[in-house]
Structure 1
């Protein structure tokens, strides 16, 4: 029998203000759309919008 794909996949969150990135996981079954989060960016020292850039 074939193995099922994992529900959780590692994604890269890219800052809109700089080149800083966070890596996190998302559940593919529950979250179909791309993630957008407000997180702290240490390069610009502010809370900025991070958008899902790619899956790893």
Structure 2
């Protein structure tokens, strides 16, 4: 029996400036094959920065 969330995986987002891993989120493997990039607040930098998916 297949899993209910077969295509959704948990990814970690890291700040591009300070490289701190601040957020975790889910993404659909079929719809988003590349690395996820979101503009999020970084508490270490105290500003909104681009956060990129890490391995």
TM-score normalised over the length of structure 2: 0.81
Q: Which runs of 5+ in 2 are unaligned?
A: none
1:1-56 map, 5 Å: 3=2, 6-18=6-18, 19-54=20-55
* Rg larger for: 1
Please give the per-residue CA displacement for 1:4-23, whole angstroms capped at 9, x wherever unaligned.
Answer: 68110000101112224210
Q: Which runs of 5+ in 1 are unaligned?
A: none
Moved over 3 A (4+): 2-5
Please give the per-residue CA displacement for 1:9-51, whole angstroms capped at 9, x wherever unaligned.
Answer: 0001011122242100000011111111110001111000100
TM-score normalised over the length of structure 1: 0.80
RMSD: 1.7
Tell me the SS of whatever aligns to 2:31. Answer: coil
What number of residue pairs does the alignment pair up?
53
